[in-house]
């Protein structure tokens, strides 16, 4: 079945170097190539510091690439004008490892989820509120949660808010950067199941980052192993 699907993402010889002072360069990602088909999950594993997060962040344009290409749906992600970049950021989202650090503590759930909706001008007024309720229900929360702040939730619930935020702008591709490693083991399976259900429902494509194989084994169609900046 997968043979018929087209590549949604093609990463070609991607490099991301950081300048770390006194002319020193840290080659966090040093020539990585892979592709992910539409609706597929590629697992990306490797020990801490090998460059997994940097790869994910460079693909979604949180970082500029030092060299190489990321082709998304036929377009080169690192040579977009501002308008195209805005369109791209709507299609490619990221879910972060730490559901405590990645949600602004001073914003309500409605504000957090609504931010992307506003930036991309998707819904206004009543429609916007309805969409936020819908998203909360989609991730297993309820409309009663809409006006609460992040500190009022458990780790698993916070990660669900992070998922709702990513989904709010109807992306095609999500980089899941260790989305369950900060959670209790008993909660991890619930969040993985949620991500799988959403993938099925919306035909999402995932790059699923984890530091150990056991977590990604049953969610991934294929697995890439990273070591010191290379695959
Ligand atoms: N903004 C940055 N500036 C300088 N160095 C960075 C930056 N981000 C990451 N690095 C370095 O790049 C290397 C790869 O880091 P990265 O976070 O991508 O690895 P990782 O495999 O995702 O690790 P972890 O599982 O711990 O998140 C590390 O040596 C890290 O210290």
Q: Quick check: 2 pLDDT over 70?
A: no
Token pair belonging to 5: 């699907």
Task: Give residue 3's pLDDT band: very low, low, confident or very high (50, 70, 90).
Answer: low
Token pair belonging to 169: 């702008």
State the ipTM, two decimals. Answer: 0.94
Tokens 């949620």 label which residue? 194
Ligand 1, atom 26, lies closest to the CA of: 48
Q: CB of 168 within 8 A of CB of 175?
A: no
Q: CB of 54 within 8 A of CB of 16?
A: yes
Ligand 1, atom 4, lies closest to the CA of: 18
Ligand 1, atom 29, lies closest to the CA of: 49
41 closest CA partner among 228, 201, 160, 175:
175
**179-225: per-residue pLDDT in tens?**
988 888 888 889 999 999 999 999 999 999 998 888 788 899 999 99
Q: CB of 112 within 8 A of CB of 145?
A: no
**8-29: per-residue pLDDT in tens?**
999 999 999 999 988 899 999 9
Ligand 1, atom 6, lies closest to the CA of: 18
- Report whether residue 182 contacts ligand 1, using a CB cutoff of 6 Å: no
**138-182: per-residue pLDDT in tens?**
999 999 999 999 999 999 999 999 999 999 999 999 999 999 888
- Report whether residue 50 contacts ligand 1, using a CB cutoff of 6 Å: yes
Neighbours of 198 (CB within 10 A): 19
Q: How many CA atoms lie within 13 A of 214 on its CB side?
A: 4
pTM: 0.92
- Report whether residue 20 contacts ligand 1, using a CB cutoff of 6 Å: yes
Q: How far is the CA of 224 from the centre of ligand 1 (A)?
A: 18
Q: What angle do CA 114, 185, 104 make, to 5 degrees?
A: 25
Query: Which ligand 1 atom is at minimum distance from the Cα of 18?
Result: 4
Q: How far is the CA of 26 from the centre of ligand 1 (A)?
A: 9
Pocket test for ligand 1, best of 14, 19, 53 (most atoms within 8 A of CB): 53
Q: How far is residue 10's CA from residue 146's CA, in Å, rounded to a whole number? A: 37
Task: Give residue 134's pLDDT band: very low, low, confident or very high (50, 70, 90).
Answer: very high
Q: State the average pLDDT for the chain.
A: 93
Residue 1 confidence (pLDDT): 52
- Structural domains in the chain, CATH included, are 2-225 (3.40.50.300)
Taking the alpha carbons of 222, 99, 166, 193 in that order, is the dihedral positive or negative? positive
């Amino acid at each position: 079945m997968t043979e018929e699907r087209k590549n949604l993402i093609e990463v070609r010889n991607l490099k991301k170097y950081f300048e770390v002072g006194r002319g020193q360069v840290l080659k966090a990602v040093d020539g990585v190539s892979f592709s992910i088909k539409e609706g597929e999950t590629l697992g990306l594993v490797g020990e801490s510091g090998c460059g997994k997060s940097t790869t994910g962040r460079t693909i979604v344009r949180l970082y500029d690439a030092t060299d190489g290409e990321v082709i998304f749906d036929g377009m080169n992600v690192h040579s977009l004008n501002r308008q195209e970049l805005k369109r791209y950021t709507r299609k490619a989202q990221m879910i972060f490892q730490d559901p405590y650090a990645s949600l602004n503590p001073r914003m309500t759930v409605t504000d957090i989820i609504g931010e992307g909706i506003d930036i991309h001008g998707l819904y206004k007024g009543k429609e916007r509120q309805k969409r936020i309720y819908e998203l909360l229900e989609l991730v297993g929360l309820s409309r009663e949660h809409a006006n609460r702040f992040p500190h009022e939730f458990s780790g698993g619930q916070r990660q669900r808010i992070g998922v709702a935020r990513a989904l709010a702008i109807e992306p095609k591709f999500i980089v899941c950067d260790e989305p369950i490693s900060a959670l209790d083991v008993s909660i991890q399976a619930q969040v993985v199941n949620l991500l799988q259900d959403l993938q099925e429902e919306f035909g999402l494509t995932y790059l699923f980052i984890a530091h150990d194989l056991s977590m990604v084994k049953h969610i991934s169609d294929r697995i890439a192993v990273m070591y010191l900046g290379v695959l």
